[in-house]
Structure 1
Amino acid sequence: MQTLSRETNDPMTSTAITPPTGPSPTPGGDAHDLSEFGYDQQLHRSLGKFASFAAGFSFVSILTTIFQLFGLGFGFGGPAFFWTWPIVYAGQFLVALCFAEIAARYPLSGAIYQWSRRMGGEVIGWFGGWFMMIAQIVTASAAAIALQVVLPSVWSGFQVIGDDPTLTSTSGAANAVLLGSILLIVVTSINCVGISWISRINNIGVTCELVGVTAVVLALFTHARRGPDVVFDTGIPGQQPGYIWAFIVSGLMAAYVMVGFGSAGELAEETRNPRRVAPRTIRLALTVSAIGGGLMLLGALMAAPTLDEQLAAGGLPYVLDSVLGGFWGKVLLCDVAVAIFICTLAIQTACSRLMFSMARDGRLPFSKTLSHVNERTGTPIAPAILIGVACVGILLVNVGNSAIFATLASVCIILIYLAYLAVTAPMLYRRLQGWPKGPATVDNEGNKLFSLGRFGIVVNLLAVVYGALMVVNLSWPRAEVFDPTGEMPFLRWAGPICIAATILVGIACFPRGRQHPKPVTSPV
């Protein structure tokens, strides 16, 4: 029988504990499982399978992101940019497989932080969590500001400030901050109320989004103007200076969308039997998003009135407006607004659990406050409020300069990929040393844990190579991506600059001279 090295409640020691080998005899089996890592059950454990899936699916939120970013991909690569979607999915699925295997063995909140420190040690673990936390705060702001693209089109009354709803205009930027701030206040309040309310709202929202995606796909395919062979058309946008380069740039659209599928791991301490549920829902959230998103892209290319600069500028809203017309178009926009709402909620929830997990280990400034869990709601309230305030602060950048805000939103995706690498790269190193050792253990219901088995090294290696290539592609100093107007040449270097700045601030915040209260022994 395999033994697992896990932390005990003694903050300075660790011991070997035999994992459960059969069904849990008591309802508190998950809490007992958590205690073997040295943590008490503070968060309320109430999430089921669908709620766990919804956490990852709503973070990806294809209805929100494809609605925003379709024009980006098409503008660079023409209709053939469609193929970047399955390519990115294949790469991210390799990462998801690695996440699924480690989620089964370490079902802890703050997944990226906990996984990376158990594979790579305290420094790598801290920076993995730091990268992910900063990225999620900026991503939540970017999601919230998307309301400006939707609500004024539904009803002009949502344009409270000025008359021009364009996101880059002075009045549009200010109104975007107003709508985004209201949304952030609402989701912060929900996060303070408790996981049960988060789960109910998120489940309803995800159901609405799934219905909306299905309706969009059906509408597009029933109004097709051309066949599916359109995806082999490189189009005019990608002819110069060479299509391969244009195709690589167009892949940024898919890279921006297919992140956040690991949120099921962030909520592991609030999920029933997370050792079995989280690995499944991580893979399912990414796969369902990839299938739904791929069908939306294909349908949009088949139904678009034109395949020229007008489609690049108008994107998916332009196609849907021509297909659905005024009334049904507005109904769909309402569904997109719901998707934006639950996307923002999911991101903030995941980020608050990550911040709580790091603070619980004393790894952040003001850790005592940030790690406090309200006994009635079972929710870490301080992290939710801090994240909400930080998101509103980032939104204000859009008033001063919308180009800088858009650049920040793009750069934060690089940080997510770096955080993923902080898990997969040391995981590969540990795997070469024999991790996971021995036969697969079982969850609290007696089922074997998910394992890649003999394919582990190959899958893990490919995941690391893919992640490294994506970091390079996302960070490449392209003027057409980061400084399309040519007014601020320094923005093309925004990727390397922001990464360096994040590392420097991280070094300043790193808890030097403090031993971790629950040091990691060799991973199992």
Structure 2
Amino acid sequence: MSDSGDRELNEFGYTNQLRRTLGGFHTFAAGISYISVLTGVFQLSYLGLSEGGPAYWWSWPAVFAGQLMVALCFAELAAQYPVAGSVYNWAKKLSNPHLAWMAGWMMLLASIVSISATALAYQRTLPQISSFFQFIGDGTGTSDAANGVLLAALLIVFTTLVNAFGVKLMARINSAGVFVELLFAVLLVVFLAFHFVRGPGVVTETNGTGAGHAGGYLGAFLIAGIASSYVMYGFDTAASLGEESLNPHRNAPKAIMRALIASFLLGGLIILFALMAVGDIHAPELGTVGLQYVLTDALGPAVGRMFLFVVFIAITVCVLAVHTAAIRIAFAMARDNALPGGSKLARVNKKTGAPVLPAIVIGVLAIALLLVNIDSTQIFSAVTSLAIILIYLSYLLVTVPMLVRRLRGGWPRKDAPAGRFSLGRWGLPANVLAVLWGGAMTIDLAWPRNEIYNASPPYHWYLQWISVLFVGVFAAGGFAYYWFVQRHRIGVLADHAAPVAGGPEEVSR
């Protein structure tokens, strides 16, 4: 059997119209740039430090342990089914078309929200490099939010154009950016190590953040942990690019695991060393600016700005990778005619070898989401939290049916070719832990806390409950549309259908 992955595509009823040009490093770079340790660590470190103090660091290994269970399950799936729109197609293989549509819909929505949320990280970085980038206001109150929306919109326009020009250009930019990010992440760890002013015991300090919480410090820690939970997801992107990858059965599982582990090690050391190097561990800037403040405080303005420039590069390639993954989800659903205008969204440009229309539509929707929230001072934490909730829900729509299949003896595949990644007897406990972790984190993230969703004036009940309302409305509304309208039109489009001997060109499920 060829290791190209085309045989598995035929199992889904597809023929590959995308171009296989991505090598092992490209696949790894896609996964690690989506996670983007520098982006995530620096974007929400202010939340972790303001809500949990230095002891929020312990949420980093806790989130890694939980996400490792999910990543192991996904690595097994990627070894068998490295296909575009990984979560959508995996759910289809493990359960039924209805749950698969829901998984794809939630992942698509999550990806669009993630583009907006990640692009907002520009505001936490660029004005720290130079006041030139504070185009609107003085960087306080609503001007901070408005300027963040402007910078984020410009970035999304850039990623839209790059993705429209094809996967080869995206891969070159992404791989170069990841190389720079990893190199300077290691250098940052080394630089911080030469500026220690205290020992690692700093991670036991809470700075009194547990006061006022019904559950004491645990309540504060669960909020602060959102800063870590935002970083370690998106590793499935390596599998979602499987139809454009060489030897995807081997490269995709490796890329998933390597991306997560490398991000955990580098991110954990950066946070720890930054806390050990900052001059004043009680500095108010830690809870407002975050670790960006540490760079200029501990390393000096010149060196600090150099590393902030690298963070800017990391944010750019991260949004590019998230946008790329969102396009693959939309493309995968569209070729099943599972989205409105499926035939147009699934059209692959013959010159670039990429679906162009999804890149544009997703970019427009991501910018629109930002504009709706342009005057909201809590846009950073609220939009980010919504993105993570949707991601965890879409992952659950894979890990739960996978667990059911395991319990019924239907997974791993009995006909799986030898030599591909498998958890063996560790698969069941890993799968159980992945489901428990995903459920617990979804509840924690969606909990209607004032600190996340209603942290500053104007205070409204619907802001506090926005996570439940947003997810509920889009989940129920989307599924209602699917059930009553789109479900009756589902079937692999003729242009994408695998040849069927003696049958029509269009293959329907």
Q: TM-score of the superposition, structure 1-length normalised?
A: 0.89
Deviation at 1:188, TM superposition (A): 0.9
- Does residue 206 (structure 1) correspond to residue 178 (structure 2)? The answer is yes
Structure 1 residue ranges (4+ consecutive) displaced by more than 6 angstroms after TM superposition: none
Following the alignment from structure 1 to structure 2, what is the Cα–Cα distance between the partners of residues 231 and 292? 17
- Does residue 122 (structure 1) correspond to residue 108 (structure 2)? The answer is no
Tell me which amino acid in the other structure corresponds to 2:396.
Answer: L
The unaligned stretches of length 5 or more in structure 1 are: 1-19
Following the alignment from structure 1 to structure 2, what is the Cα–Cα distance between the partners of residues 343 and 131? 20
Tell me which amino acid in the other structure corresponds to 1:334.
Answer: F
CA contact (8 A) 2:42 2:290 kept: yes
Tell me which amino acid in the other structure corresponds to 2:330.
Answer: M
Please, which of 290, 301, 322 is the counterpart of residue 326 of structure 1? 301
Other-structure match for 1:285:
259
Tell me which amino acid in the other structure corresponds to 2:428.
Answer: I
Other-structure match for 1:17:
none
* Matched position secondary structure for 1:220: helix
Deviation at 1:403, TM superposition (A): 2.6
Report the aligned-residue RMSD: 1.9
CA contact (8 A) 1:144 1:183 kept: yes
Write the deviation string for residues 135-189 of structure 1: whole angstroms up to 9, x where unpaired: 11111112222222222332333333x44134x433x433333322222121111
Residues 151-160 or 183-192, more deviating = 151-160
Q: 1:486 to 1:290 in 2, by over 3 A?
A: same
Please, which of 232, 237, 254 is the counterpart of residue 258 of structure 1? 232
CA contact (8 A) 1:258 1:286 kept: yes
- Does residue 233 (structure 1) correspond to residue 205 (structure 2)? The answer is yes
Please, which of 421, 425, 434 is the counterpart of residue 454 of structure 1? 425
Tell me which amino acid in the other structure corresponds to 2:478.
Answer: G
Other-structure match for 1:12:
none
Write the deviation string for residues 258-307 of structure 1: whole angstroms up to 9, x where unpaired: 11111101111111111111111111111111111100111111112222
CA contact (8 A) 1:143 1:343 kept: yes
Deviation at 1:436, TM superposition (A): 2.5
Q: Within 5 A, what are the aligned runs for 1:79-94?
A: 79-94=54-69
CA contact (8 A) 2:196 2:277 kept: yes
Tell me which amino acid in the other structure corresponds to 2:102.
Answer: F
Other-structure match for 1:71:
46
Following the alignment from structure 2 to structure 1, what is the Cα–Cα distance between the partners of residues 199 and 128? 30
* Matched position secondary structure for 1:513: helix
* Matched position secondary structure for 1:484: coil
Other-structure match for 1:433:
408
Alignment: residue pair count:
488
Other-structure match for 1:501:
473
Tell me which amino acid in the other structure corresponds to 1:178.
Answer: L
Deviation at 1:309, TM superposition (A): 5.5
* Matched position secondary structure for 2:12: coil
Following the alignment from structure 1 to structure 2, what is the Cα–Cα distance between the partners of residues 34 and 398? 40
Following the alignment from structure 2 to structure 1, what is the Cα–Cα distance between the partners of residues 333 and 114? 19
Residues 97-106 or 306-315, more deviating = 306-315
Other-structure match for 1:409:
384
Please, which of 445, 460, 473 is the counterpart of residue 489 of structure 1? 460
The unaligned stretches of length 5 or more in structure 2 are: 493-506
Please, which of 214, 219, 224 is the counterpart of residue 245 of structure 1? 219
Following the alignment from structure 1 to structure 2, what is the Cα–Cα distance between the partners of residues 80 and 184? 34
Write the deviation string for residues 6-33 of structure 1: whole angstroms up to 9, x where unpaired: xxxxxxxxxxxxxx3xxx3xxx844355
Other-structure match for 2:396:
421
Other-structure match for 2:440:
469
Q: 1:63 to 1:478 in 2, by over 3 A?
A: same
Residues 137-146 or 233-242, more deviating = 233-242
Q: TM-score of the superposition, structure 2-length normalised?
A: 0.92
CA contact (8 A) 2:296 2:302 kept: no
Please, which of 278, 292, 309 is the counterpart of residue 304 of structure 1? 278
Q: Within 5 A, what are the aligned runs for 1:1-400?
A: 20=1, 24=2, 29-160=4-135, 162-166=136-140, 168-170=141-143, 172-241=144-213, 242-308=216-282, 310=284, 311-400=286-375
Q: 1:163 to 1:427 in 2, by over 3 A?
A: same
Following the alignment from structure 2 to structure 1, what is the Cα–Cα distance between the partners of residues 467 and 176? 36
